[in-house]
Amino acid sequence: MKRTRIITLLASDHALDNVLIKGWVKTRRDAKDFSFIEVNDGSCLQNIQVVADQGLANFEAIKKLSTGSAIAVEGIMRPSPGKGQKWEVHAASAVIISVAGDDYPLQKKRHTDEFLRTISHLRPRTNKYGAAFRIRSKLSYAIHRFFQERGFAYIHTPILTGSDCEGAGELFQVTALNLENPPKTAGKIDYSQDFFGRPANLTVSGQLEAEMFALALGDVYTFGPTFRAENSNTSRHAAEFWMVEPEMAFCDLSDDMDLAETFVRHLVTYALDHCREDLSLFAEFVDKTLMDTLETVATKSFIRVPYTEALAILNRSGQHFNFEVSFGTDLQTEHERYLAETHFKQPVIIYDYPRTLKPFYMRVNDDGKTVAAMDVIVPRIGEIIGGSQREERLDVLKGRMAETGVPPKDLWWYLDSRRFGSVPHSGFGLGFERLIMLVTGISNIRDVIPFPRTPGNIEF
C-alpha cells in the first residue's frame, strides 16, 4: 500500500479505513493505555495525531520514541474528540523505521534563526522553515505559470560566462588553473592556458543573453541562479541568489513597469490563494502586519514617480537620513524604505534615473541626463526589481560603452543585435529571495534560501 500524504488526509471530508502514513515524530504524549504521537511528513504545516494503544505488539518501544524518529502507521482515520485537530489515526500497526538519537537538536523549544542557520541541513524540519520552503516552491511554480500562460519562452542562459562587463556586481572568477602555480607570461597569469582559453566568471545576470533571445522569440524569461561577490554583509544580499529576468521585444519602459507591477501583484495574490496555511504561521509569529502588507501589494496600483520627484519628496520630508540625496546620488535602502513605508505606504516604482548611476545598456532619455531605468520598491525590503528599456541605437550604445569603460570587442555579439533588426525592448530582474522575504515577512535573506552563501559562509 502506498502512503498517503498528511495534507491529503487532513483535507478529507469523511473518515477513512486503511490509511498508511509515513513521517517523523514531532512530539509524543503518553496516557495510561495510549501514546498520542504527533506525526508530520513535511507535506503541510499541520501534524496528524496518531493514537497508539497498548494492544500494539511494539507498544513499549513506541512509548520510548524520540522526537525526530521516523515511523510508518497503518490504521483508520476517525474524527478526533480532542481539541486542535479534526482527524486522528488509530494505529493498527506502527512500524518504527528509525530512531533519532536523543541529541537531535530540534527538540520542542523555540530556536533562534541564528542557531538554525548553523544546522541548515535540519532546519527545514521546523515548522517555520518547512513553511518558508513550501512557499518558495509554490512561488517558483507560479513564476513559470505566469510567463508560460502569457506566451513567454523560458531561456536557460549560461552560468559560466566570458563576459564580465554587465557592471551589475563583483564577479566570482572561475578557473581550472592550478592556483598554487599558475602559468605566467611576462609576470602575468596566462589565461590562454586556462580551461576556456580566457578568463571566465560566474554570471551576475542572464540579461544580455536573454536580450538576444527576446530579439528572436519576442517575449522570454530566465529563472536561475546568479552570483555576486559583493562583500556586503547585509540582510538583503546573498552571494548566490535566484533571479527572474523577463525580456520583451517591441516594448518600452512603460510596458516594462506594467509587466513588473502585474507580475509582483500576481505572485502575492497567488501566495494568498495557495499558501494560506503556511502564511498563517508567519502572520502569527514573524510579522503581525504581514497580511495587511500582502493585501496592499495585491490590490493597490503601484505609484510611479520619476527619480527627481523621489528626491524632492525625500528632501521635503524633514526626515534625517545617513546619506544626503541630490541629483546623481544613488538612493540607499533608507530612502527607498522611507518612500515605500512612510510616505506612500505601498509599493512604488521609481524611474528615469541619472545616466551616471546606471549601466551602459539602459536607454538614454531625450533629456540626455537620465536613462529609462526603473526600480520597484516595496515596504520592508526596498528594491525588489531593477529593470530598464534597453538602448537599441547602435551609436548611442557604443557611446555609452565608451563612457562606462566597457570594451566593445568583448561584446561584439551584443552589438550585432543592434545592427541586425534592432528594436525597442525592455526587461527587468526580480530578486527571488527578496520576493520570498516580502511574502513571508522573514527579514534575513539567509533564511529564505536553503543553503545560504554569504561572505565567509559556504558550509553544507
Instruction: For residue 18, give the nearest of 74, 57, 96 by alpha carbon.
Output: 74
Could you tell which of Mg ion, ligand 4AD, none binds residue 390, using a CB distance below 5 to 8 A set by kind? none
Residue 11 C-beta-side C-alpha neighbours within 13 Å: 9
Residue at 339: amino acid letter: L
Under the criterion CB under 6 A, does residue 383 sit at the interface with ligand 4AD? yes
Task: Give the pairing type, strands 240-249 and 184-185.
Answer: unpaired
Q: Does 347 bind ligand 4AD (CB under 6 A)?
A: no
**Residue matched to cell numbers 530578486:** 431
Question: Which residue in 168, 260, 271, 331 binds ligand 4AD (CB under 6 A)?
Answer: 168
Interface with ligand 4AD, residue 431, by CB under 6 A: yes
Q: How far is CA 236 from the centre of its chain?
A: 11
427 binds Mg ion (CB under 5 A): no
Binding range to ligand 4AD, per CB under 6 A, among 107-115, 188-196, 339-347, 421-429: 421-429
DSSP 300: S
Rounded CA-CA distance 84/46 in Å is 10
| Residue 433 in contact with ligand 4AD, rule: CB under 6 A | yes
- Among 56, 89, 131, 385, indicate the residue that binds ligand 4AD (CB under 6 A): 385
If the CB atoms of residues 26 and 390 are measured against ligand 4AD, the closer one turns out to be 390
Strands 303-306 and 348-354, sheet pairing: parallel
Tell me, by CB under 6 A, how many residues bind ligand 4AD: 23
Q: Could you give the CA distance from residue 69 to residue 104 in angstroms, rounded to a whole number?
A: 9
Calpha distance 347→99 (Å, rounded): 49
Residue type, 195: F
Residue selected from 88, 194, 219, 245 as contacting ligand 4AD according to rule CB under 6 A: 245
In whole angstroms, the minimum distance from the beta carbon of 319 to ligand 4AD comes to 23
Select 230 or 277, whichever has its Cβ closest to ligand 4AD.
230
Of 389, 87, 427, the C-alpha closest to 245 is 427
Taking every pair of C-alpha atoms in the chain, what is the biggest distance, in angstroms?
Answer: 85
- Does position 238 bind ligand 4AD by CB under 6 A? yes
Closest by CA to 229, choosing from 170, 165, 159, 162, is 170
Among positions 246, 359, 386, 424, the unique one binding Mg ion when judged by CB under 5 A = 386
**Helices 253-274 and 290-299: angle between axes, nearest 10 degrees:** 140
With contact defined as beta carbons under 8 Å apart, do 428 and 399 qualify?
A: no
**120 or 207: CB nearest ligand 4AD:** 207
Distance CA 213, CA 413 (A): 12
Q: Which stretch binds Mg ion (CB under 5 A): 221-229, 329-337, 385-393, 418-426?
A: 385-393
105/107 Cα distance (integer angstroms):
6
Of the pair 245, 447, the CB lying nearest ligand 4AD is at 245
Considering only the stretches 136-144, 294-302, 364-372, 377-385, report the one whose residues sit in contact with ligand 4AD under the rule CB under 6 A.
377-385
C-alpha dist (Å) from residue 133 to 102, 275, 296, 433 = 26, 11, 23, 11
Q: Do 373 and 354 touch, CB atoms closer than 8 A? A: no
Using the rule CB under 6 A, is 442 a contact of ligand 4AD? no
Residues from 106 through 125 that contact ligand 4AD (CB under 6 A): none
Tell me if 429 contacts ligand 4AD by CB under 6 A: yes
Residue 27, strand partner residues: 38
The C-alpha atoms of residue 346 and residue 344 are separated, in whole angstroms, by: 5
205 makes contact, choosing from Mg ion, ligand 4AD, none, with CB < 5 to 8 Å by partner type, with ligand 4AD
Q: Which does 24 bind (CB under 5 to 8 A by kind): ligand 4AD, Mg ion, none?
A: none
Query: Shortest distance, CB of residue 144 to ligand 4AD, whole angstroms?
Result: 17
Region from 50-58, 70-78, 241-249, 363-371 binding ligand 4AD, contact rule CB under 6 A: 241-249
Task: Note whether 427 binds ligand 4AD by CB under 6 A.
Answer: yes
> Is residue 257 classed exposed, middle or buried when 0-12, 13-18 and 19+ CB atoms within 10 A define those classes?
buried
> Which listed option, ligand 4AD, Mg ion, none, makes contact with residue 130 (CB within 5 to 8 Å by class)?
none
For ligand 4AD, the closer of residues 168 and 305 by Cβ is 168
Size of the site for Mg ion (CB under 5 A): 1
Helix (H, G, I), strand (E, B) or coil at 245: strand
Shortest spacing between CB 359 and ligand 4AD, in angstroms: 8
- Running DSSP on this structure, what letter comes out for residue 365? P
In the stretch 194-233, what mask flags binding to ligand 4AD with x, by CB under 6 A? -----------x-x--------------------x-x---
Interface with ligand 4AD (CB under 6 A)? 168, 205, 207, 228, 230, 237-238, 241, 243, 245, 383-388, 427-429, 431, 433-434, 445
List residues binding Mg ion (CB under 5 A): 386
